[in-house]
Amino acid sequence: MMINSQLHSIISQEIIKPSSPTPSHLHTYNLSSVDQLAAKVYMPIVLFYPNNDNCTLTSQEKVRVLKESLSQTLTRYYPLAGRISSPISPYVDCNDEGVVFIEARVNTNLDDYLQLSEKNNTLVNLFAIDLANYKSPCNTSLVGVQFNHFDCGGLAVTVAMSHIIGDGTTFASFLGHWASVARYGSADRQEVKPFIPHFIQFPRTDSIQRESRAREIDQTNVVSRKFVFPNSKLGDLKKMVDENIINPSRVEVLTSLLYKTAAKAAATRSGCFKTSYISIMVNMRNKFVKKLPPSTFGNMASVIMVPTGQHTIETSLSKVVEDIKKTMSEELVKIQSVQQIPEYLIVSRSKKLNQDNMENVVNGSYWCSSLCGFPFKILDFGWGQPVGIDLALGSLHKNGFMLIDTINGDGIETCVLLEKENMEIFENDKEMLSFCQK
């Protein structure tokens, strides 16, 4: 069975605005310098829900609940209902223009859709946002929502949020609060915890503006594949790491394996090993003495770039893990305050580009971001928890790995984005496949 755009039809489209107007003194939300350095992409998530016999709501009532609760939630998360005049604008106009909300029908059953081995090529049809073209004139909202009906009564809620306005923690916080309001009926009900997002600003500098303008997303010849690594296999992988490396996490060892395999695939294709780099996204909210609350709104992450030589990639998983842990430890101590995050991002990247050949850095760079531990799999809007979660990441930069907990909690699902020729080698690597779910 193939799912294609002909099986998707739009039922309705409207704009959801905040239930209460944003006060005039909050109409301009200045983006932090870290926000401006964020990738110019959308973060897209798909939440699949079955036809729950215990839920008395009809499909249309579910749509109404989502719209009303989204309107209430946008009053708290007011920048999400605003507009950015251009991808390089330094501020959000919090004008309450609202969030696009589309209702659509998918002419197939949810189970059939979930059984597709590669869903990324079809997921884009479930979104209200043009994920492949961030600068599209159609993408006026910072957030896009689509409610998709399946023939069986199941549904998929898709949400895409601009990375400029916030990171994964911001995204999870917004979705969690929205789900609570939908589940209990009102943000004023006792069951919904009082919540005010914490906003923090950094000083903007000309160097950060230049860096922001210079960044482009290369989407050429990129393909994505999904791999699932059960906890039992991740345990076996951890046992392969040298015992002198203290308590490596499952995310660290899996990141090392994916990076090692991808770099080896690139070397096999080119015929030679070169120095490679893995850039790891680090949530900085809990890295300081005065910890920032999870509700801190915006991009609050740093990127640690770890270089590895050719012999490391050729021979040793333990050496890759060691290099990652050592570099993370050495680099994070350089960031002693929230205000130092943006300058660290600029200085560390510039230093790396000055020390090494720029072409080698660009072509040999990989990125990894983990959503493990985020509460996406328990998002209940009033009709139960999702039976599936997916990420439509085909629009992101090549040479990357996105990690997320499996829906049953027994492992990590990874989306890998590589050039087509490298992927053909990567997905047939026997060592990597030995730790995958069969």
What is the mean pLDDT, run by run of 10 residues, along the chain of 438 residues? Answer: 61 95 91 84 93 87 96 94 86 94 92 66 80 71 94 94 92 94 68 53 52 49 90 95 90 95 89 82 79 80 80 74 90 80 70 55 80 93 93 75 94 93 95 92
Q: How high is the pLDDT of residue 77?
A: 93
Count of CB atoms situated within 10 Å of the CB of 350: 12
380 flagged as catalytic: yes
Q: How high is the pLDDT of residue 114?
A: 78
Q: How high is the pLDDT of residue 100?
A: 95
Give the Cα separation of 99 and 83 in Å (integer): 10
Backbone angles phi, psi at 332, to 5 degrees: -65, -30
Give the Cα separation of 274 and 426 in Å (integer): 17
163 flagged as catalytic: yes
pTM: 0.88
Q: How high is the pLDDT of residue 212?
A: 46
Domain 5-199 = CATH 3.40.50.10310: no
Q: Are strands 412-419 and 400-405 parallel, antiparallel or unpaired?
A: antiparallel
What is the chain's alpha carbon radius of gyration, rounded to the nearest angstrom?
22
Q: Is 112 exposed, middle or buried (0-12, 13-18, 19+ CB in 10 A)?
A: middle
Q: How high is the pLDDT of residue 313?
A: 59
CATH 3.30.559.10-classified regions of the chain: 5-199, 217-433
β strands within 107-246, DSSP E: 143-150, 155-162, 198-199, 222-229
Assigned CATH topology for domain 217-433: Chloramphenicol Acetyltransferase (3.30.559)
The residue annotated as part of the active site, out of 149, 163, 177, 397, is 163
Show the CA angle centred on residue 272, arms to residues 271 and 275, nearest 5°.
145
Give the residue ranges of DSSP H helices in 271-339: 310-315, 317-332
Q: How high is the pLDDT of residue 243?
A: 87
The residue annotated as part of the active site, out of 93, 112, 380, 429, is 380
Q: How high is the pLDDT of residue 2?
A: 40
Give the Cα separation of 407 and 385 in Å (integer): 10
